[in-house]
Amino acid sequence: MDTRRIMVIDDERIVGDMAKMALEQDGYAVETFLNGEAALARMKETHFDVVVTDLKMKGIDGMEVLRTVKERYPETKVIMITAFANLDTAIEALRGDVFDFFPKPVRIKELKASIVCALNRQG
């Protein structure tokens, strides 16, 4: 079976670094990005099975990443993380077909479990 590819987008380098380290231990191929622009450019070159994105970022934010991924790559699952979680943003993300939504700080065990569920869900 091919290695599953995970993209992590967060403007805080430590978040991406921690997620990359933890997910690579489970055998995933992980690429991290500090902004949505670079991440979406990379998606034109390589398929990712799951995108984990921060909600609030300068430039292209997590909601725009979600909309773009769902429009261009509908089979890719998107998991959103944010330090600014509230009911309105959660509802907006869910309406945008986000697979899961986590407040920061994210518990890596929960994130890993969500990624496994996302990878096992078809369509």
CATH of the domain at 51: 3.40.50.2300
Q: pLDDT-based confidence at 93, cuts 50/70/90? A: confident
Q: How many domains does the chain have?
A: 1
What is the torsional sign of CA 2, 30, 55, 114? Answer: positive
Phi, psi values for residue 73, rounded to 5°: -135, 70
Q: Which domain holds residue 113?
A: 5-120
- Number of CB atoms found within 10 A of residue 19's CB: 23
- The predicted model scores a pTM of 0.93
- Residues 58-69 have a mean pLDDT of 95
53, 55, 56, 61 alpha-carbon torsion, rounded to 10°: 70
Query: What's the mean per-residue pLDDT of the chain?
Result: 92
Q: pLDDT-based confidence at 123, cuts 50/70/90? A: low
Residue 81: closest CA among 58, 59, 56: 56
